[in-house]
Amino acid sequence: MSETHHLYEHTSAKDVQWESLSFTERAVLCFVFEGERVLLIHKKRGLGKGKINAPGGRIEPGETALEAAVRETQEEVGLIPIQPQECARLHFLFTDGYSLHGTVFRAFSYKGTLRETEEATPLWSPVSSIPYDRMWEDDKLWIPHLLEGRYVEGFFIFDGDTMLDAHVVTGTLLPPPR
Ligand SMILES: COc1nc(N)nc2c1ncn2[C@H]1C[C@H](O)[C@@H](COP(=O)(O)OP(=O)(O)OP(=O)(O)O)O1
Q: Where are the domains of the chain?
A: 23-173
Which amino acid residue places its CA nearest to atom 5 of ligand 1?
136
- Relative to the CA of 25, which ligand 1 atom is closest? 21
DSSP string spanning the chain? --TTTTTTTT--TTTS-GGG---SEEEEEEEEEETTEEEEEEE-SSTTTTSEE-SEEEPPTT--HHHHHHHHHHHHHSEEESS-EEEEEEEEEETTS-EEEEEEEEES-EEE-----SSEEEEEEEGGG--GGGB-TTHHHHHHHHHTTEEEEEEEEEETTEEEEEEEEEEEEPPPP-
- Give tens-digit pLDDT for 12-42: 999 999 999 999 999 999 999 999 999 999 9
Cβ of 76 closer than 6 Å to ligand 1, yes or no, is no
Structure confidence at residue 10 as a pLDDT band (50, 70, 90): confident
Q: Model confidence over 160-176: pLDDT tens digits? A: 999 999 999 999 999 87
Say if CB 163 and CB 137 are below 8 A apart.
yes
Residue 178 banded pLDDT, cuts 50, 70, 90: low
155 Cα: distance to centroid of ligand 1 (angstroms): 16
Ligand 1 contacts CB of residue 142 (under 6 A)? no
Architecture of domain 23-173: Alpha-Beta Complex (3.90)
Residue 1 has pLDDT above 50, yes or no: no
